[in-house]
């Protein structure tokens, strides 16, 4: 997921109040809303200098928006509530673990941040005449080849992007 995806989600989420346009279709000019954040980002984009002063100025503008925006404070509280309810993540595998894993034919998919680790062991791997790699897995999930979301094994389409399961 990129910063663009997060911004797009925030702008399209009606609950948070960060929409670009209000319910009347007019530009939402609230400096604590998404326009304020976009103005802070535009400050960096308009100044093509990569010197330390322009980077610091941009970082200060974004931090100022984040510290003053009540909407962003709500987003942070929601994120903190979700993270505090999650079990602690297991330690990341070391380089030697990854090497052993590669030799044994197993794979590890790691999430970013406070997500859990999904481990799956591949029992075999075959390639179809059309070049599609099929894996027979002992895992309890399958990863969508379009968006990489991990789905329940009994579904034929991705629960996130609704595209069909391949293989």
Q: What is the pLDDT of residues 66-89, one digit of tens each?
A: 899 888 888 888 888 888 877 776
CA atoms within 13 A on the CB side of 69: 26
Is residue 146 within 8 A of residue 161, CB to CB? The reply is yes
pLDDT at res. 48:
63
Q: What is the pLDDT of residues 13-35, one digit of tens each?
A: 877 778 888 778 888 788 888 88
Q: What is the mean pLDDT of each run of 10 residues along the chain (167 residues)?
A: 76 79 81 83 69 80 88 85 76 57 47 41 44 50 84 88 84
Q: What is the rounded distance in angstroms from the CA atom of residue 55 to the CA atom of residue 49?
A: 8
pLDDT at res. 125:
44
C-alpha dist (Å) from residue 10 to 5, 23, 71, 96, 160: 9, 16, 11, 39, 17
Tell me the Ramachandran region of residue 70: left when phi exceeds 0, alpha when psi lies from -120 to 50, beta otherwise: alpha
Q: What is the rounded distance in angstroms from the CA atom of residue 115 to the CA atom of residue 87?
A: 9
What are the residue boundaries of the structural domains of the chain, listed by start?
A: 3-85, 95-151
pLDDT at res. 139:
58
pLDDT at res. 135:
46
């Amino acid at each position: 997921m990129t910063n663009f995806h997060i911004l797009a989600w925030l702008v399209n989420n009606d609950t948070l109040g960060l929409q670009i346009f209000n319910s009347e279709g007019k530009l939402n000019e609230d400096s604590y809303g998404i326009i304020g954040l976009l103005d802070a980002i535009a400050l960096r984009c308009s100044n093509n200098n990569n010197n330390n002063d322009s980077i610091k100025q941009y970082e200060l503008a974004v931090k100022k928006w984040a510290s003053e925006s009540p909407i962003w404070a709500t987003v942070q509280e929601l994120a903190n509530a979700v993270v505090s309810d999650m079990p602690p993540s297991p330690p990341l595998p070391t380089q030697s673990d990854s090497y052993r894993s590669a030799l044994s034919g197993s794979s590890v998919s790691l999430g970013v941040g406070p997500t859990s680790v999904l481990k799956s062991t591949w029992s075999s791997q075959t390639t179809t005449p059309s070049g599609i790699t099929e894996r027979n897995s002992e895992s309890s999930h399958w990863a969508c080849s379009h968006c990489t979301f991990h789905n329940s094994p009994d579904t034929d389409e991705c629960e996130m992007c609704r595209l069909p399961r391949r293989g």
